[in-house]
Amino acid sequence: MSEGHHHDGSIAQQVREVEAELEASGIVSAAELEAILDAMRTPADGARVVAHAWVDAAFRERLLGDATAAIEELGYSMHGGVRPQMLVALENTEAVHNVVVCTLCSCYPIALLGPSPPWYKSEAYRSRVVREPRAVLSEFGLELAETVEVRVWDASAETRYLVLPLRPRGTDELAEEHLAALITRNGMIGTASL
């Protein structure tokens, strides 16, 4: 592995090893494990960040300029784990759609999005989304117009990404907490629209 993706002893690596042992021993199937993890996952913190960016233009600009510092304004941090990480926010627009991957392992902003989904860790996703992002997004049910540029971002141990999805039409009157309820983990990875 490259220097930026080595995770021996990290919590994320330990979790992956426990998941693999549970599956290999027959205690739980991959599908059962995913259902259990889905029940525990909540993108609440990341969803709150995105919703706040949708309602506060000045915060959105700070988030896009220095996401690591901006999330601290809301009480969140990228300083967990062995070493601090930098967060970069990527804004989807009508012309550009961003999608995140970690090609060598599964670096991911757990603090904001909760545990990563199994497909994010899969070799198929990690290799294919770089080569054929439109085809992979289509498999997720996300069809983008040919005029939309798709940008793929490769996370690392030092840099994590958060996609700021397009705000759904017809939500101008919704309060921030109601907006946060619309935001999904896949939307903040870039494999879904809202």
DSSP structure string for 53-106: HHH-HHHHHHHHH-HHHHHHHTT--S--SSS--EEEEEE--SSEEEEEE-SSS-
**Is 122 an active-site residue?**
no
| Other Cβ atoms within 10 Å of 28 Cβ, number | 14
The residues spanned by each domain of the chain are 42-189
Is residue 107 part of the annotated active site? The answer reads yes
Q: Tell me how far apart the alpha carbons of residues 46 and 113 are, in angstroms, rounded to a whole number.
A: 6
In this prediction, residue 40 carries a pLDDT of 55
Q: What is the pLDDT of residues 104-156, one digit of tens each?
A: 887 888 889 887 888 999 999 999 999 999 999 999 999 999 999 999 999 99
Q: Taken in order 116, 133, 53, 80, is the CA torsion positive or negative? A: positive
pLDDT at position 3 is 40
CA–CA separation, 140 and 121 (whole Å):
15
Residue type, 64: L
Structure token pair of residue 192: 């879904």
Per-residue model confidence (pLDDT) at position 110: 84
Instruction: Give the CATH number of domain 42-189.
Output: 3.90.330.10
What is the model's pTM?
0.79
CA distance 158 to 160: 7
Catalytic residue among 10, 29, 77, 102: 102
Q: Rounded to a whole number, what is the distance in angstroms from the first to the last CA of the chain?
A: 35
Q: What is the pLDDT of residues 27-55, one digit of tens each?
A: 888 787 776 665 555 567 999 999 999 99
Look at residue 39 in the predicted model and tell me its pLDDT. 53
Summarize pLDDT for 50-83 with one digit per residue, the tens: 999 999 999 999 999 999 999 999 999 987 666 7
Selecting among 10, 107, 122, 127, the annotated active-site residue is 107
Q: Are 91 and 164 in contact (CB under 8 A)?
A: yes
Sign, Cα dihedral of 45, 55, 99, 73: negative
Determine which one of 2, 25, 29, 105 is catalytic. Answer: 105
Distance CA 104, CA 124 (A): 12
State residue 31's pLDDT score: 80
The residue-averaged pLDDT of 10-21 equals 72
Looking at 25, 29, 77, 106, which residue is catalytic? 106
